[in-house]
Chain A
Amino acid sequence: MTADAFLFWFLAFVTVVSGLSVILMVNPIYSALSLAMTMIGVAAIFVTLNAYFLAGVQLIVYAGAVMVLFVMVLMLFDLKHEIQAFTRGRLTGAIKIASVGILSGLIVGAVTMGLKTPVVITASSDVAAAPTVDTTRALAENLFIKNVLGFEVLGVMLLVIAVGAVALSRSKGGTHARD
């Protein structure tokens, strides 16, 4: 077993187990901490795929900022144990579990199909062959030349979202309400 394969199986185990604990933990703080663990695992998976810059951004944005925000809000709320953590109602619950089951079945089907068909695409490409600085440089060139419109639109959207979040939290019942 090569080091790469070992790394993949290890990271897959970590992400799946911590992802499972996100949805199974009754205490939402444990859910949030497991999700942070998942994010770190995903960042490591990005490293195995030679996307170093994205791995760093994943750590900074998701693990370092978004999840810290979640954990802080949960701790401020001080929700120790939820009264009603999971869905209620027998029929709706059964339908929901069934739909998740169908999706999982589709995945199993995909796995078996993937095993039967020969692998067409192999990792012999320019990105895989030149795993150094150039992925970051190529990323920047693609982002700022080819996708510059999307970049600008995202900037405007972030501004709108920031104003909206501030307005929500300053409105009646928010954290900084002006009574």
Chain B
Amino acid sequence: MLETSIFTEITLNHYLVLSAIMFSLGMAGVLLRRNLIVLLMSIELMLNAVNISFVAFSHYMGKIDGQVMVFFVMTIAAAEAAVGLALAVSIFKRFKEVNIRFFEHLKG
């Protein structure tokens, strides 16, 4: 008889594992992709993964503070996306491509 309670009873662990999987997906994206905009999107993926674990903790611990943290994370993520995209537009105007290797031209 196989133990099926892992499939039918959703606990905090399930949400944490989901969050961890999404976080490592985002990390893989940051490490493996070369397109600046895809890098930014992978960072958004990582932030979302963290948000899931914050909300899950808030729900299962019965404290609202986790949701407030999610609020702050969302604000910072939106701001980061705005600045990142502005940088990407500058790079694109110059080199007609948004590959990350053009970022070495930013020095000096």
Contacts and interface: CB of A to CB of B under 8 A. Distances in A.
- Find out whether A and B make contact in their complex, taking CB atoms under 8 A apart as touching: yes
Interface of A: 1-2, 4-5, 8-9, 12, 15-16, 19-20, 22-23, 28, 31-32, 35, 38-39, 42, 45-46, 49-51, 54, 57-58, 61-62, 65-66, 69-70, 73-74, 77, 79, 82-88, 93, 96-97, 99-100, 103-104, 106-107, 110-111, 114-115, 119, 121-123, 125-128, 135, 138-139, 142-143, 146-147, 150, 154, 157-158, 161-162, 164-165, 168-169, 171, 173-175, 177
A87 B31 contact: yes
B81 A66 contact: yes
Nearest to A161: B79
Interface residues of B, number: 73
Interface in B17-66: 17-18, 20-22, 24-29, 31-35, 37-38, 40-42, 44-45, 48, 51-52, 55-56, 58-65
Contacts, number: 236
7 contacts: A28-B38, A54-B67, A70-B81, A119-B13, A139-B64, A158-B79, A175-B93
